[in-house]
Structure 1
């Protein structure tokens, strides 16, 4: 696919996802591409990951599983892309298909639900809502903890679910975004440092780290720009990223979280409990720890401003390519 068709289809994908998201009737009828990817990952886990095998054998099996995922996603993306582009104005259906692998609308809705549940149902409702978007044990969270978890999830998933898919689609079209999404899904399912997955999920986790290196840093830049535009703490966001992003146990998650923390004058990350395991992570930012529902809404406003910036960048690039094509 040439650059012209790729960027036009990306603009369509972005606009369609921002307005419509993934239609719920379609999800009820056929599921979602990520659920299909999850089913494949689960099948490979059952067939290749055996507890009686040695660590090296399980790591090798994980490498094979990750290779299979890449081949399936890349081949499927390539075939669908070719079929779409074989028809007139095929970049339109291609963009609509690609929109299913971007998650800006659903991300905002899930985080907004946390704020709404806290307001209407109290701490119990907030814990239920936040448990749908974070892996940590919600029963250990007080109300500020629920708010911080929602804001951290918004920052990190802005990178994983929005900026990174857009980035890889812009570079490699539907095969690129499909490969990224299946690796990212595998990391969330099998990339944990647990007895079952530390060896088997090693390849997926490391590849996900590599695929997110550039997008995570772009996300921090976009969030900082959004902070300047929305008259928040843009300089503090940049300063916090420079000081704290590298302290995070993840090579990538600290970048958007630090930018968000600096922009909102919060202290995010830090020690957290996943199941019964305490993860002693560094703090991002040196502001308040007592986050509130108001801070969730400020974070959402910052997120929406960042999405407007992305819209402008994609739109300008598409306009330039259209102008260049016809002049």
Structure 2
């Protein structure tokens, strides 16, 4: 099924208005259960952990793409309108802008009430670091970093693959993303088994992460922020991250907001010093959080507008 503009616009609008459809059958949940089903069986039956992990990646992504394509074909054989509805639904569940905003906003709401304990608890649901002793600036930093990073892999990347190859490719990307979140850890259990999933996730996010940074640079002036500084910091600090990709949206956001991200975090009782991103021209306050949310939505809008413009120009040229 070609990437119909109705499918893309419908998916984006459904996500913006309704958020994550948790009350409905959710393909991402099904993908997670499929991974959990395959993992112990592959570990038992494949001698090499790395080979088992490679097979997990191939089977999960292949089945996701094939099942999604089959659903679209069957819907189209019913009526073209049914294919549009199914396509919009599958595109909708691949996007996470509203969900990201809702979950991170719980942190901001608690801070606005002056309830630090509640803010720490809310932050603990969206970050991996320990949050029990964090003060307000560090809580805000965690929320800003989460929104900036996930604008890449939760908003722009799935939208990029949706416009590139339709719902089947968008959900194949989400399968890669889910694999990385479930098995892509650098610990004893998953170092070899999750190697392929982690590396492929890096590859799948390579272009979208850099596109996200560029979109944030372009979005910054529209949000009352500094596009010039976003560009400068992204070029300077985009690689100041353990991930080969996450640093680009974080650096663009830090530059646009005029804040410093990165630094010390506590994991399992140990302090981990991470490279800093950006300059501390402004304090990490709720203003920074609201600014990064505006950047997220505006970046998504810019991608939709740019793609729609290219499609329209191609139609005129054709």
1:77 aligns with 2:71: no
Query: 1:189 Cα deviation (Å)?
Result: 1.5
State whether residues 69 and 168 of structure 2, in contact with CA within 8 Å, keep that contact through their aligned partners in structure 1.
yes
Which residue among 40, 48, 70 is the counterpart of 2:42?
A: 48
Post-superposition Cα deviations, 1:137-161, rounded to whole Å, max 9, x if no partner, equal 2224322111111111101111101
Runs of 4+ in 1 over 4 A off after TM superposition: 317-325
TM-score by length of 2: 0.91
SS in 1 for 2:201: helix
State whether residues 131 and 137 of structure 1, in contact with CA within 8 Å, keep that contact through their aligned partners in structure 2.
yes
State whether residues 57 and 197 of structure 2, in contact with CA within 8 Å, keep that contact through their aligned partners in structure 1.
yes
SS in 2 for 1:59: helix
What's 2:179 paired with? 186
CA distance in 2, matches of 1:209, 1:155: 17
Post-superposition Cα deviations, 1:107-164, rounded to whole Å, max 9, x if no partner, equal 1111111100222262111111111211222224322111111111101111101111
Which residue among 276, 287, 291 is the counterpart of 2:284?
A: 291
SS in 1 for 2:20: coil
Which residue among 245, 248, 264 is the counterpart of 1:271?
A: 264
State whether residues 11 and 314 of structure 1, in contact with CA within 8 Å, keep that contact through their aligned partners in structure 2.
no
Query: 1:187 Cα deviation (Å)?
Result: 0.6
Query: 1:178 Cα deviation (Å)?
Result: 1.3
What's 1:96 paired with? 89
Query: 1:57 Cα deviation (Å)?
Result: 1.8
What's 2:13 paired with? 15
Distance 1:289 1:136, change over 3 A: farther
What's 2:126 paired with? 133
Residue pairs, 1:1-327, within 5 angstroms: 1-3=1-3, 5=4, 7-26=5-24, 30=25, 32-49=26-43, 57-86=48-77, 87-89=79-81, 90-120=83-113, 122-287=115-280, 290-317=283-310, 319-320=312-313
Query: 1:228 Cα deviation (Å)?
Result: 1.9
Distance 1:121 1:42, change over 3 A: farther
CA distance in 2, matches of 1:190, 1:289: 37
CA distance in 1, matches of 2:43, 2:115: 41
CA distance in 2, matches of 1:132, 1:150: 11
State whether residues 72 and 86 of structure 2, in contact with CA within 8 Å, keep that contact through their aligned partners in structure 1.
no
State whether residues 11 and 315 of structure 1, in contact with CA within 8 Å, keep that contact through their aligned partners in structure 2.
no
Greater CA deviation, 250-259 or 300-309?
Answer: 300-309
Query: 1:42 Cα deviation (Å)?
Result: 2.0
TM-score by length of 1: 0.89
Task: Give the length in aligned residue pairs.
Answer: 316
For the aligned residues, what is the CA RMSD?
A: 2.3
Q: Which runs of 5+ in 1 are unaligned?
A: none
State whether residues 180 and 197 of structure 2, in contact with CA within 8 Å, keep that contact through their aligned partners in structure 1.
yes
Query: 1:229 Cα deviation (Å)?
Result: 1.8
CA distance in 1, matches of 2:161, 2:40: 29
SS in 2 for 1:270: strand
Query: 1:33 Cα deviation (Å)?
Result: 2.0
CA distance in 1, matches of 2:234, 2:270: 27
CA distance in 2, matches of 1:2, 1:65: 28
Greater CA deviation, 219-228 or 209-218?
Answer: 219-228
Distance 1:322 1:132, change over 3 A: farther
State whether residues 273 and 279 of structure 1, in contact with CA within 8 Å, keep that contact through their aligned partners in structure 2.
yes
Query: 1:288 Cα deviation (Å)?
Result: 5.0
CA distance in 2, matches of 1:38, 1:279: 29
